[in-house]
Structure 1
Amino acid sequence: MTRLRGPFGRWDPASLSEVVARFSGLESCWWVAGGFAIELAVGRRIRSHGDFDVLLLRRDQLVVQQALPGWQWWAADPPGSLRPWAPDEILSLGVHDIWCRAGADDPWRIQIMIDESRGQEWVSRRDPRVRRPISTLGMTSADGVPFLAPDVQLYYKAKTPRPKDEEDFDAVLPVLTDRQRRWLVDAISKTYGPHPWIKRLQA
């Protein structure tokens, strides 16, 4: 379903199968993120989606241009603006999102989220105290699709939860392991302080 999103044009999110086909040949790590990652964690469809998120580490950012050759790539330069991302350009640390579409008259299809890392650790761009081994950042679906671990995805959604984030939290909460719950409580507490999700995670 084509959806509007702000002043930058319409979205028609790519399908999971299309994203897998385009990114599966990469040597670098990548993960399905956002609401689709939550659905892969619970194993069922939860809601409609306005976009499709893929997570990459900043050090691997240029593989986007390899995975989507001939597409338009636009960097989301804060605050609230888009600009073309030039071939082989290394984005500044302030840029965390890339919007991708096949052509100028086409809808946006894929949003790339860029996260930080140091050595073999993922480091939260919101709080450098929140980190974990890159090897534990994602999970793999029964079909072999890599997706962002639900506790990490919920950590990002916890900043200012929207109705869809609450829906995702409700859906995935029952499948979180004790270890994931503990990690998420600690991460939320460090970065955001008191939060309504903490009590439910500790129940």
Structure 2
Amino acid sequence: MRTDWDPVPPAEVHELFAALAAPWWLAGGYAVEQALGRSLREHGDIDVLVLRRDHLAVQQVLRGWEWWAADPPGALRPWQSGEILPAEVCDVWCRPAADRPWRIQLMIDESDGECWTSRRNPRVRREVRSIGRTGASGIPYLAPEILLFYKAKDTRPKDEADFAALLPLLTPGQRRWLAEAIGDTYGAHPWLAHASPG
């Protein structure tokens, strides 16, 4: 099976997902760049986040594509048409055909009524309408403090760079939310000293 990636550019993702009658957001590195309004680096993939309640609708948006669910601890298997994915599956790789590179990584997160709840900690929650922002290009992306919350787990050099780039953009309220979410989920963390509002 091919393992190479050729990420769909954000503008094309926007065109594809315009047909989705449910909220969606860019996540990961491309979302960081939407928040900053500038490029930071090359990207190995592109992440699109949807709520689990809406995940089946993505099959209609990407009709004719192949969808492969990442079953923990990471084995890929076909996501069948109409199959409701179990709670432990929160990652789907998508490509137009078997002989093409992977193009979109679908991330699936949880919700409870009109509240988003983190798949890493159900106590970390917000109203769905408050978890996204819209870039100058009109592309929806995950709020910076939520991006950083997810990036705080097992940080890599690019996550540290994203933290340094995004932190100055956060309001005191966003910093407070981030510090509380990190502390409640990961415990002691080196970002806490910087994320907590003064």
Letter in 1 for 2:71: D
Tell me the distance in 1 between the aligned counterparts of 2:127 and 2:2. 36
Tell me the distance in 2 between the aligned counterparts of 1:132 and 1:34. 19
Q: CA deviation at 1:8?
A: 5.5
C-alpha contact (below 8 Å) 2:11/2:139 kept by paired residues: no
**2:84 counterpart residue number:** 90
The answer as to 2:34 corresponding to 1:28 is: no
The answer as to 2:2 corresponding to 1:14 is: no
C-alpha contact (below 8 Å) 1:120/1:133 kept by paired residues: yes
Letter in 2 for 1:105: D
Question: What's the RMSD between the two structures over aligned residues?
Answer: 1.1
Letter in 2 for 1:148: L
Q: CA deviation at 1:25?
A: 2.3
**2:133 counterpart residue number:** 139
TM norm structure 2: 0.97
1:137-191, Cα deviation, whole Å (9 max, x unpaired): 1011122111000100110110110111111111111111111100000000000
1:34-71, Cα deviation, whole Å (9 max, x unpaired): 11111111111011110000000000001211111100
Q: In percent, how many aligned pairs have the same letter?
A: 58
Aligned pairs (5 A) from 1:8-157 = 9-157=3-151
The gaps in structure 1 that reach 5 residues or longer are 1-6
1:4-47, Cα deviation, whole Å (9 max, x unpaired): xxx85101111111101100122100001111111111111011
C-alpha contact (below 8 Å) 1:40/1:141 kept by paired residues: yes
Secondary structure of 1:196's aligned partner: coil
Secondary structure of 2:191's aligned partner: helix
C-alpha contact (below 8 Å) 1:46/1:171 kept by paired residues: no
**1:173 counterpart residue number:** 167
**2:193 counterpart residue number:** 199
Kindly report structure 1 stretches of 4+ aligned residues shifted beyond 6 Å: none
Tell me the distance in 2 between the aligned counterparts of 1:49 and 1:176. 23
Letter in 2 for 1:170: A
The gaps in structure 2 that reach 5 residues or longer are none
Tell me the distance in 2 between the aligned counterparts of 1:193 and 1:74. 33
Alignment coverage as a number of residue pairs: 197
Secondary structure of 2:103's aligned partner: strand
TM norm structure 1: 0.94
Tell me the distance in 2 between the aligned counterparts of 1:116 and 1:16. 23
Tell me the distance in 2 between the aligned counterparts of 1:168 and 1:67. 30
Q: CA deviation at 1:124?
A: 0.8
